[in-house]
Structure 1
Amino acid sequence: MTSGTGSGAVTLDLRGLKCPLPVLKSRRRMADLASGSLVEVLTSDPLAGIDIPHFCHEDGHRLEMLERTETGHRFLIRKG
């Protein structure tokens, strides 16, 4: 579920999971990372396009990128 992308980012492949699991798993994984860490999150749940930006705002992370993909969304998050 977690791997590196070559850009130094941690990748969370959360495709196939439904709300609220993408946010819960992202929050849990990011708790172990240093401030400033970059996390790539891949999702297929349509609600993630709303939930992940809200999670970033609430937890003080910076949403660097939101991209729609063929199967869902790709987010790049900088841990606050």
Structure 2
Amino acid sequence: MVTVVQMYGMFQDALTYDDVHVNFTQEEWALLDPSQKSLYKDVMQETYRNLTAIGYNWEDHTIEEHCQSFRRHGR
């Protein structure tokens, strides 16, 4: 049986944070209703947790930076 860690090793360079991150402009963000904003927040937090769990190396991005971004933009 192949473990998640072994699978990650096989595809280590296949995925980056930027591949899964969705970034809205202020104008786009303003068009979202509260439930869409909440869904975005939940999905991005889950993405962070999942990537961290498989050993993703946060060279340019930290959870703290992203959470601060949520607060700055009312997300």
Does the TM-score normalized on the shorter chain lie above 0.5?
no
What TM-score bracket applies, with the shorter chain setting the length? 0.3 to 0.5
More helix by share: 2
Largest Rg, 1 or 2: 2
Name the structure, 1 or 2, with higher relative contact order (CA <8 Å, separation 6+): 2
The structure with the greater share of residues assigned to strand is 1
